């Protein structure tokens, strides 16, 4: 029998704190949220590994949760405030939404896979996250019905700048994602200031590509 509480402490102490994550509210959230609840039962033992772990496989599409260190550093880079309205894009089974619900105001978890969205809804109800809700729809379109947002978090990599999502940020809003694929990818923070958007890389990172965020194939003659 796995002691998940002990595994959770080891995850935070060995993966999160050691990666320059110092936000005490975020650390407390990751110590509180039972990450194993957001995995299929047969994969719960993998919940605290230091890697992206698959939670769904449909044909050639594999959906993974971000490794804990990358998720924590992305949220910290977004400088999430207690009252911020947050959109969590590609929330999959809802773990990231649960963590964000502990450090932000209202949180919308967006997922296009109906089975993953159902898992997320049930898990959030079980652990108690009254300020979070799960909605379904294409990830690349965001969720304009509740825009604008203070913070948007992409739970995976994007090979292209997510323009439709940037349009859903408030003035002063931040979007964080892993931009690029492979070893050259970087965690990036975008800031909206009036009608302008600026981006800066904040740390090296890798993540699985989110559906809808791949580059359009180029034809070479």
pLDDT tens digit string along 96-153? Answer: 999 999 999 999 999 999 999 999 999 999 999 999 999 999 999 999 999 999 999 9
pTM: 0.95
Rg of the chain in Å (alpha carbons): 16
CA nearest neighbour of 85 among 125, 163, 143: 143
Number of domains the chain contains: 1
pLDDT tens digit string along 161-181? Answer: 889 999 999 999 999 999 998
Q: Which domain holds residue 100?
A: 4-204
Q: Which residues contact 18 (CB under 8 A, 6 or more apart)?
A: none
The domain spanning residue 65 has which CATH number? 3.40.50.150
CA nearest neighbour of 160 among 135, 183, 123, 185: 185
Per the domain annotation, does 218 fall within a domain? no
Per the domain annotation, does 212 fall within a domain? no
What residues form DSSP beta bridges with 61?
A: 58
């Amino acid at each position: 029998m796995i002691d998940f509480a002990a595994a959770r402490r080891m995850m935070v102490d060995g993966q999160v704190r050691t990666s320059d994550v110092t936000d005490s509210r975020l650390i407390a959230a990751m110590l509180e949220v039972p990450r194993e609840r957001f995995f299929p039962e047969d994969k719960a033992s993998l919940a605290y590994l230091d890697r992206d772990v698959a939670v769904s496989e449909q044909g050639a599409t594999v959906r993974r949760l971000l490794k804990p260190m990358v998720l924590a550093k992305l949220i910290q880079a977004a400088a999430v405030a207690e009252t911020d309205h947050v959109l969590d894009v590609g929330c999959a089974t809802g773990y990231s939404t649960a963590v964000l619900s502990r450090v932000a105001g209202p949180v919308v978890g967006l997922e296009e896979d109906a089975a993953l969205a159902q898992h997320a809804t049930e898990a959030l109800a079980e652990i108690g996250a009254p300020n979070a809700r799960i909605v379904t729809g294409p990830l690349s379109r965001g969720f304009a019905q509740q825009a604008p947002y203070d913070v948007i978090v992409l739970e995976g990599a994007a090979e292209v700048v997510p323009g439709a999502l940037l349009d859903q940020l408030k003035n002063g809003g931040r979007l964080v994602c892993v931009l690029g694929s492979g070893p050259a990818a970087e965690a990036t923070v975008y800031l909206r200031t009036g009608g302008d958007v600026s981006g800066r890389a904040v740390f090296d990172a890798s993540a699985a590509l989110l559906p809808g965020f791949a580059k359009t194939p180029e034809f070479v003659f």
